[in-house]
Amino acid sequence: MQGLIKDAKTDKEKMQILYQHLQQNTRYVSVQLGIGGFKPILAEKVAQVNYGDCKALSNYMKALLKEAGINSNLVVIGNGRPELNKSYSSIGQANHMILVVPNSKDTTFLECTSQNYPMGYIGYDNADRNVLMVIENGGQLIRTPKYRSLDNYQVRKTRIQLAEDGIATINVKSTYGSAQYEDNLSNLLSEPTELRKVALQSIDFPDTELQQIKFEQTDKKLPIINEEITYKT
């Protein structure tokens, strides 16, 4: 592991390298039966089998960061649920675990089950809520980041060229950010044939020919997808 980060100059660079290592070398497998729903498998086991649930992968990432000299804390969270009730203790309020790297100036939350999220992006269902950070002598309620309405956007520009013979060439460029990025992530990961099928089904013009389709995440460090589709009809 030390070989991975030997050229990294800052803790942020080390985190980025180790987070990418986690994403590229592990996959999420849900474990909910018996004690497995509450107790993660050991980090050493995850390193051997290359899979784990949210608890196991978060714990594994915590172990990687510890080896790099970076402190982190496990976070118990209700994914897609109402935020934790401060005045009532119940394990049933939570269904997920993520990781946080506390810093007075730049605290970073890590969603360890996704192979695609940029580092620091934890998803809309984890955002802006009370969560329980596990500390050495107990727990502490903290709040996850809030994604502003300005961050959650879909911007679309359409250009239509109409030829003298009545044939129209339609070019559609779209940009999706944060929550919209999540909604369109499946398209980014789809096979080209499936993507073409979805694109043709989304337009209601007769005799339409799909000339080009591109889905790109130009900067892997940002939750932004760029889409470009060209039709002829």
> For residue range 131-175, what is the model confidence (pLDDT) as tens digits?
999 999 999 999 999 999 899 999 999 999 999 999 999 999 999
| Predicted pLDDT at 2 | 82
pLDDT tens-place values along the chain, 233 residues long: 788 998 999 999 999 999 999 999 999 998 777 777 778 889 999 999 999 999 999 999 999 999 999 999 999 999 988 889 989 888 889 999 999 999 878 899 999 999 999 999 999 999 999 999 999 999 999 999 999 989 999 999 999 999 999 999 999 999 999 999 999 999 999 999 999 988 888 888 778 899 999 999 999 999 999 999 999 98
Sheet holding 73-77, edge to edge: 108-110, 96-101, 73-77, 130-135, 138-143
Q: For residue 204, what pLDDT is reported?
A: 80
pTM (predicted TM-score): 0.90
Euclidean distance between CA atoms 108 and 183, whole angstroms: 23
Domains of the chain: residue spans and CATH: 11-143 (3.10.620.30), 153-232 (3.30.200)
The tokens describing 21, both together, are: 């290592």
- What's the confidence (pLDDT) of residue 132? 95
Relative to beta strand 96-101, strand 73-77 is antiparallel
What is the spatial distance between Cα 49 and Cα 33, in angstroms, rounded to a whole number?
19
State the pLDDT at residue 1: 74
